[in-house]
């Protein structure tokens, strides 16, 4: 690990914490994060030549595996025509049509360069459309790092949010209500306490950022019913679930039509790309048509569009094969580790929706953030380190989702279960 160590030493001189995104620093699991030099298919190689089975897939985008030939070729071809123009292109419409063809709620959309931009813009739009200020989010859901979304729950479910990060003014957090997930009564109470004041409800329809937490039966339907009755905008944050849990995302899986949807990750095939979209009457409030300003130098970037068209195009052309393979592999890999945990007498709860899942070190079911927080994070950290040493790279936090790709194989499933048997012995 000497090359990674040298790279880390330099990185720590250049970047706060040596990283360009905090979770990469392994703060939640300890140990020294390897520096990745290349990846192909289901595997990462670090600067010292060690190979890892990749179970976090760049936090979701790499659903076809790394360096998927059709995606690489599309990026290469687009790059030869320049990386960016700052002008409109056919490619933006080509990717948008792939989206609208499989996401009927997306009557109109706009591309941005990250999930954070997508959610930040969708909320501004919802506030303008409704003329209201308050935003409801849920504990354990992460929607990027815009100020108003870095908010923790206040004392009661209907009380105002408190800053979840330094630098977020109380005045900003005041307008965000952070409620418990999977709790319909809490949403009713918030609307009762803030009649006519709540602009939108933003939700991860399947939570990935507390670890994977599926919606309870009828929960998403309740959010749709309540927001419709209250005249509030329902925003599905499908940055992670989009094209992941189904080609049409969680809204296809659970049969819900949100007013706005945010996307990212898989949409750009690994390049910087996000989008927000939904009802045309809401989207048409955006400049230059309407009064809501939103903009981006690299929005609709030609290389991101090319990677997205190649990725989403492949998913559409091979939908049945892709999602049945992801379901098969994800079921087998989660069961394999669960069996190893049972054999080792280690309490483990598996939450999974399609090819996103989490092994919670908890004997209890995990249905909300409070449940996730009861997991044994020390045990998870020991498990993570032992799995990494055994060549399996899990997301470095109990509160993150793991992801499979179509490039993973039965051998990867077997090797992961074998590594888990050893790692679980180390974890207890
Ligand atoms: P980005 O700004 O990181 O592209 O997207 C923010 C975002 C929005 N919505 C959801 C549901 C998300 O999961 C994310 C970002 N996810 C994290 C992983 N949990 C990104 C990894 C990181 O922060 O480094």
Categorise residue 210: left if φ over 0, alpha if ψ from -120 to 50, beta otherwise.
Answer: alpha
Are 266 and 243 in contact by the 8 Å Cβ rule? The answer is yes
Q: Are residues 59 and 117 in the same domain?
A: no
Atom of ligand 1 lying closest to residue 114 CA: 4
Dist. CA 416–CA 53, nearest whole Å: 8
- Dihedrals phi, psi of 200, to nearest 5 degrees: -160, 160
Dist. CA 396–CA 385, nearest whole Å: 9
Tell me which of 265, 314, 376, 412 is the catalytic residue: 265
- Which domain covers residue 167, as residue numbers? 69-317
Contacts of 90 by beta carbon, 8 Å cutoff, 6+ apart: none
Q: Are residues 308 and 326 in the same domain?
A: no
270, 301, 317 — which closes off a domain? 317
Per-residue pLDDT of the chain (428 residues; tens, 9 = 90+): 799 999 999 999 999 999 999 999 999 999 999 999 999 999 999 999 999 999 999 999 999 999 999 999 999 999 999 999 999 999 999 999 999 999 999 999 999 999 999 999 999 999 999 999 999 999 999 999 999 999 987 776 667 788 899 999 999 999 999 999 999 999 999 999 999 999 999 999 999 999 999 999 999 999 999 999 999 999 999 999 999 999 999 999 999 999 999 999 999 999 999 999 999 999 999 999 999 999 999 999 999 999 999 999 999 999 999 999 999 999 999 999 999 999 999 999 999 999 999 999 999 999 999 999 999 999 999 999 999 999 999 999 999 999 999 999 999 999 999 999 999 987 66
Q: How many domains does the chain divide into? A: 2
Enter the pTM of the model. 0.98
Q: Are residues 16 and 63 in the same domain?
A: yes
283, 317, 351 — which closes off a domain? 317
User: Residue 412 catalytic?
Assistant: no
Dihedral, 52, 55, 61, 62 alpha carbons, nearest 10? 50
Residue 21, number of CB atoms within 10 A of its CB: 10
Distance from residue 193's CA to the centre of ligand 1 (Å): 30
CATH of the domain at 244: 3.40.640.10
DSSP code of residue 296: -
- Nearest alpha carbon, ligand 1 atom 17: 59
CATH of the domain at 53: 3.90.1150.10
Dihedral, 153, 179, 24, 346 alpha carbons, nearest 10? 110
Q: Which residues line ligand 1 (CB under 6 A)?
A: 21, 23, 59, 114-116, 119, 142-144, 204, 208-209, 237, 239-240, 264, 274, 400
Q: Are residues 127 and 8 in the same domain?
A: no
Are 238 and 261 in contact by the 8 Å Cβ rule? The answer is yes
Distance from residue 115's CA to the centre of ligand 1 (Å): 6
317, 349, 371 — which closes off a domain? 317
Q: Are residues 287 and 219 in the same domain?
A: yes
């Amino acid at each position: 690990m000497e090359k990674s160590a040298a790279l880390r030493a330099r990185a720590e001189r250049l970047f706060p914490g040596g990283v360009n995104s905090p979770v990469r620093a392994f703060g939640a699991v300890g140990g020294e994060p390897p520096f990745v030099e290349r990846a192909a298919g289901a595997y990462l190689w670090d600067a010292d030549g060690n190979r890892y089975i990749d179970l976090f897939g760049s936090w979701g985008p790499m659903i076809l595996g790394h360096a998927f030939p059709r995606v690489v070729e599309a990026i290469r071809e687009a790059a030869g025509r320049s990386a960016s123009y700052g002008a409109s292109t056919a490619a933006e419409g080509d990717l948008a049509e792939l989206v609208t063809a499989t996401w009927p709620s997306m009557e109109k959309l706009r591309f941005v360069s990250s999930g954070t931009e997508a959610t930040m813009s969708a909320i501004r739009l919802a506030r303008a459309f409704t003329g209201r200020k308050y935003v409801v989010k849920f504990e354990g859901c992460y929607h990027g790092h815009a100020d108003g979304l870095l908010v923790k729950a206040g004392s009661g479910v209907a009380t105002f949010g408190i800053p979840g990060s330094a630098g977020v003014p109380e005045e900003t957090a005041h307008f965000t209500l952070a409620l418990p997930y999977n709790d319909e009564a809490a949403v009713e109470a918030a609307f009762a306490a803030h009649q006519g004041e709540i602009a939108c409800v933003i939700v991860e329809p399947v939570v990935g950022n507390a670890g994977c937490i599926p919606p309870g039966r009828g929960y998403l339907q309740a959010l749709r019913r309540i927001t419709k009755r209250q005249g509030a905008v329902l925003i599905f944050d499908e940055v992670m679930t989009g094209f992941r849990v189904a080609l049409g995302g969680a809204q296809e899986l659970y049969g819900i039509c949100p007013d706005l949807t945010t996307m990212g990750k898989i949409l750009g095939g690994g390049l910087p790309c996000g989008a927000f979209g939904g009802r045309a009457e809401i989207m048409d409030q955006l400049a230059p048509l309407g009064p809501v300003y939103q903009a981006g130098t690299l929005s609709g970037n030609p290389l991101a569009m090319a990677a997205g068209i190649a990725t989403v195009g492949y998913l559409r052309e091979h939908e049945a094969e892709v999602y049945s393979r992801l379901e098969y592999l994800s079921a087998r890999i989660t069961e394999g580790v669960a069996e190893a945990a049972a054999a080792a007498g280690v309490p483990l709860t598996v939450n999974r929706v399609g090819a996103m899942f989490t092994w919670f070190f908890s004997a209890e079911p995990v249905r909300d953030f409070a449940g996730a927080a009861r997991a044994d994070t020390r045990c998870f950290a020991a498990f993570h380190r032992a799995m990494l040493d055994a060549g399996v790279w899990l997301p470095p936090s109990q509160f993150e989702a793991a992801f499979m790709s179509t490039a993973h194989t039965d051998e990867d499933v077997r090797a992961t279960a074998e590594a888990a048997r050893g790692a679980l012995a180390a974890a207890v």
